[in-house]
């Protein structure tokens, strides 16, 4: 087996003296994990940082063996996160979620676009919106897609205001009003592809995605939500 690709480093685990087991979110092959010799030597430390964009060649003598990786730096994107703790915490959340949730070498399709947008546009004012879109489409990638097309109670497509935590389906204002304290807010900015939501909308969306990720993926697989994600809303203070 042999292939080349590019992507973002999401996990680095020390192996032996100076080597590492590296996980990369790649453009065409999804999550790729492999062995990198001397990755943690003084010469290479700047390359193998979470968030850096790298190109790599992956190879294995037989398909059952762990991949070996030859890596070269494309862009030192990690430096864009170091000066601001909220950005660093959010990047760690993305890396943690992807490292746990994603199977090996399953193409990410459109999810990669949102991952690339988060890393590539981190210096824009609305950087957190890109992260919110990533989490929403991560649900879809994991088969937990929400049905936001019509009210589950009335069938109406008008005045959708809530999302049911039980079904993941939209609820209109009239049907949901008596139960609004138990429902999530409808993510209108996601549906409209609006990249300028207010902080309240962002917080509501991240509360909802956390709930469905925890309920429909982590608990189902007897896993715990990564600590960086579990603490994200408190760290962001939105």
* pTM for the predicted model, two decimal places: 0.93
- Looking at residue 42, what DSSP letter applies? T
pLDDT band at 112 (very low <50, low <70, confident <90, very high): very high
- Looking at residue 161, what DSSP letter applies? E
Give the angle 181-153-202 at the CA atoms, nearest 5°: 45
Average pLDDT over residues 72-89: 95
Asked if the model's pLDDT at residue 111 lies above 90, the reply is: yes
pLDDT band at 237 (very low <50, low <70, confident <90, very high): confident
Looking at every residue in the chain, the average pLDDT score rounds to 95
Q: What confidence score (pLDDT) does residue 176 get? A: 95
What is the phi/psi pair of residue 75, to 5°? -150, 125
Q: Give residue-wise pLDDT tens across range 217-236.
A: 999 999 999 999 999 999 88
All domains in the chain, ordered by first residue: 1-77 (2.40.50.140), 80-148+187-238 (no CATH)
Residue labelled with tokens 């494309």: 74
Q: Give residue-wise pLDDT tens across range 201-216.
A: 999 999 999 999 999 9
Instruction: Give the rounded distance of the alpha carbon of 182 from its chain centre.
Output: 26
Asked if the model's pLDDT at residue 38 lies above 80, the reply is: yes
CB 13 within 8 A of CB 66: no
CB 78 within 8 A of CB 49: yes
Asked if the model's pLDDT at residue 63 lies above 80, the reply is: no
Q: Give residue-wise pLDDT tens across range 116-172.
A: 999 999 999 999 999 999 999 999 999 998 999 999 999 999 999 999 999 999 999
What is the phi/psi pair of residue 46, to 5°? -70, -20
């Amino acid at each position: 087996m042999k292939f080349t690709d590019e992507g973002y480093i999401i996990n680095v685990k020390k192996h032996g003296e100076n080597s590492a087991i590296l996980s990369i979110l790649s453009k065409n092959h999804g999550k790729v994990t492999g062995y990198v010799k001397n990755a943690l030597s003084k010469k290479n430390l700047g390359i193998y940082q979470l968030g850096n964009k790298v190109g790599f060649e992956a190879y294995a003598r037989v398909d059952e063996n762990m991949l070996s990786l030859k890596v070269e730096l494309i862009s030192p994107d990690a430096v864009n996160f170091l000066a601001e703790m909220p950005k660093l915490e959010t990047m760690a959340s993305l890396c943690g979620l992807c490292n746990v949730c994603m199977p090996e070498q399953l193409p990410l399709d459109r999810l990669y676009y949102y991952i690339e947008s988060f890393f590539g546009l981190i210096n824009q004012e609305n950087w957190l919106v890109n992260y919110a879109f990533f989490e929403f489409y991560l649900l879809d990638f994991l088969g937990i897609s929400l049905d936001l097309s019509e009210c589950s109670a009335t069938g109406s497509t008008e005045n959708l205001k809530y999302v049911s935590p039980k079904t993941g389906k939209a609820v209109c204002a009239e049907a949901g009003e008596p139960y609004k304290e138990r429902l999530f807010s409808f993510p209108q900015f996601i549906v409209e592809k609006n990249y300028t939501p207010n902080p309240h909308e962002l917080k509501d969306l991240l509360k909802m995605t956390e709930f469905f990720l925890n309920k429909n993926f982590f608990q189902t697989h007897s896993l715990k939500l990564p600590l960086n994600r579990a603490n994200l809303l408190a760290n962001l203070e939105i």
